[in-house]
Chains A and B, each alone.
Chain A
Amino acid sequence: MADKKQKETKEDITFFHPDIFETPENAPPFLKGYKCKKCGKIWFPKFVPCPNPDCWSEEMEVVALSRRGKIYSYTDVYIGQPTMRSYMPMTMAYVDLPEGVRVFSQLEGEVGSFRCDEEVELVAGPVRNNLDGKPITGYKFKKISS
């Protein structure tokens, strides 16, 4: 009963998630890297303190990561949790950014249309539904619009 009440009053998230992704109103969206002020290493997603065992600095600054990257590998996925199924099949990929960061991401576009080493760019889009059945906006990559 208590669970049910909580479900009715507390809405599930619709954005994933402010620590790693930002969608400014008048500028393109970007991913947030965490740059260690002491050892200089850039991490993604969020790590505080710095996971470098010789560093462990608490001072991390947020840096905007490049919006363009290269597909290291991709796969068209046909199975997933119930709240993802309306988006299936969907393409998932590792995208390498110039900062030396590899990002796991969904790709926006037709399944079967992507290739390894292809360049892609960051966009915002629905990544899955929340428990209320509403879409959750998150980061994705798509083919470069020419």
Chain B
Amino acid sequence: MRDVYVIGIGEITFGMLPDDYHILGQKVVRAAIKDAGISWKDIGSAFVGNGTNGLCTGQRVFRDTGMCGKLPIINVESACSAGAMAVHSAYIRVATGLDEVSIGVGTENASLHREAGSAPSPDQTDVEGFLGAVMVAKYALRAQRYMYETGATLEDLAQVTIKNRRHATNNPYAWPKAKGKITVEEVVNSRMIATPLTLNQCCAMTDGAGAVIVASGDAVKKFGISKPVKIKASTVVSGPFSTGPKDECGDDIVKLGSFKAYEDSGIGPEDIDMVECHDAFTISELIYYEAMGFCKKGDGLKMLLDGDVTHGGKVVFSPRGGMLAYGHPMGASGAAQVAQCVRQLRGECNGYQVEGAKTAMTQVTGGGLSGTQHAACTTHILSI
């Protein structure tokens, strides 16, 4: 396997967007090609992550760029992990020498496809789903147990939302409605969804897209890329399956994915300056500090309250604002996380720059599959 670098990124501002997923995808593809300063002709293959927008989503994205017929386009789906898995797939394609340049795209428009008042017939083979185990309920179960075991309060959980929205204040790509100052009261007293998770502790289902162009060392030289970001690890794992008890204050698959990435890269959590994680709910980020090895079991809350996970601390978690400030378009988030890490490592995040960031990590899980904590987890470690 040869070294692989990110040479171009494409981003748009997340939110409830009037353009459908393929338009959002085209925007970030064009932006990434422009950012890399290469021609569309230099791209050898494309991978497109999407969750719910239908079939042949990748070909639909690329058709209107005129690139269909010129390169293989492969669609990638693993619920919320799809966008990161598209980047991983592009990475594999270059690492193995099949291509000099490949592109990973994540795109999703949820809001245009939401049918009001629709009542899908519940799937009887999915027992948990049939009985009402929506995603937020499953995270609420984790949060309740976490509070029971650690003594954390609702006000403590709220600090994750407050931190991440504050981080996003000057980020032009975060959802304008969810960035900036929010008080403990505004988090705690927002509408109860599933105890203890209130509305402002949950990410919104927004729309968005992100694109990442990866290339070989030869291509970096050929195109004269000024700030290539090296992919030190790009790992995908599937969720360990068991119908017995699991530690819901821990996370087996995230631990598996993180430690595989540390092993692949030779980089440990102590060397990482910033992390974009799957902070779909406040409790998720708290659990991930520990599962990803940034602190000992039981010390996650202390890390948060001591300011270890914000600017000036040991490691900045969610400097872009995370999903709590972007919202979470299923197929898009994973690619957008990688794009933001690259921007940080290049030192281009005016007003929300992680000082001296040299190494960044992304983590995004996917899929509520009964018997697993998540169906999939994709992890990246990047450095400059």
Interchain nearest-CB distance for B278 vs A (Å): 19
A92 touches B127 (CB 8 A): no
Interchain nearest-CB distance for A49 vs B (Å): 14
CA distance A84 to B128 in the complex (A): 14
**B245 contacts the other chain (Cβ, under 8 Å)?**
yes
CA distance A124 to B376 in the complex (A): 34
**B66 contacts the other chain (Cβ, under 8 Å)?**
no
Write the B146-177 contact mask toward A (1 if CB under 8 angstroms, else 0). Answer: 00100000000000000000000000000000
B124 touches A13 (CB 8 A): yes
Known: A73-B145, A75-B194. A127 touches B131 (CB 8 A): yes
A80 touches B132 (CB 8 A): yes
Complex interface: chain B residues within 8 A of A74 (CB): 141, 144
Q: For residue B127, which residue of chain A has the nearest CB?
A: A45
* Segment 103-159 of B: residues with Cβ below 8 Å from A: 117, 119-122, 124, 127-128, 130-134, 136-137, 140-145, 148
Complex interface: chain A residues within 8 A of B312 (CB): none
**The residue from B128, B143, B191, B193 contacting A104, defined by CB atoms under 8 A apart:** B128
**A81 contacts the other chain (Cβ, under 8 Å)?**
yes
**B192 contacts the other chain (Cβ, under 8 Å)?**
yes
**A67 contacts the other chain (Cβ, under 8 Å)?**
no
Complex interface: chain B residues within 8 A of A77 (CB): 132, 134, 136-137, 140, 193-195
* Segment 75-93 of A: residues with Cβ below 8 Å from B: 75-84, 90, 92-93
**What size tier do the contact residues of chain B reach?**
35 or more
B132 touches A84 (CB 8 A): yes
A131 touches B119 (CB 8 A): yes
Taking chain B's interface residues, is the majority helix, strand, or loop, or is none over half, making it mixed? loop
A104 touches B243 (CB 8 A): no
CA distance A81 to B196 in the complex (A): 20
**A96 contacts the other chain (Cβ, under 8 Å)?**
yes
Complex interface: chain A residues within 8 A of B141 (CB): 72-75, 92-94
**A17 contacts the other chain (Cβ, under 8 Å)?**
yes
CA distance A96 to B136 in the complex (A): 21
**B246 contacts the other chain (Cβ, under 8 Å)?**
yes
Q: For residue A20, which residue of chain B has the nearest CB?
A: B127
B128 touches A78 (CB 8 A): no
Complex interface: chain B residues within 8 A of A84 (CB): 132
B195 touches A102 (CB 8 A): no
Interchain nearest-CB distance for A95 vs B (Å): 10
**B40 contacts the other chain (Cβ, under 8 Å)?**
no
Known: A90-B132, A128-B132. A75 touches B119 (CB 8 A): no
Complex interface: chain A residues within 8 A of B196 (CB): 75
A44 touches B243 (CB 8 A): yes
A80 touches B134 (CB 8 A): yes
A102 touches B127 (CB 8 A): no
Complex interface: chain A residues within 8 A of B140 (CB): 75, 77
Q: 4 closest Cβ contacts across the A-B interface?
A: A75-B140, A73-B145, A116-B148, A73-B141
List 13 extra interface pairs beyond A73-B144, A92-B133, CB under 8 A: A16-B131, A73-B141, A75-B195, A77-B136, A77-B140, A77-B194, A79-B134, A83-B122, A92-B137, A102-B243, A116-B144, A116-B145, A128-B131
A–B complex contacts, Cβ < 8 Å, 10 sampled: A16-B130, A47-B243, A72-B248, A77-B136, A77-B193, A92-B131, A94-B141, A101-B243, A116-B144, A117-B148
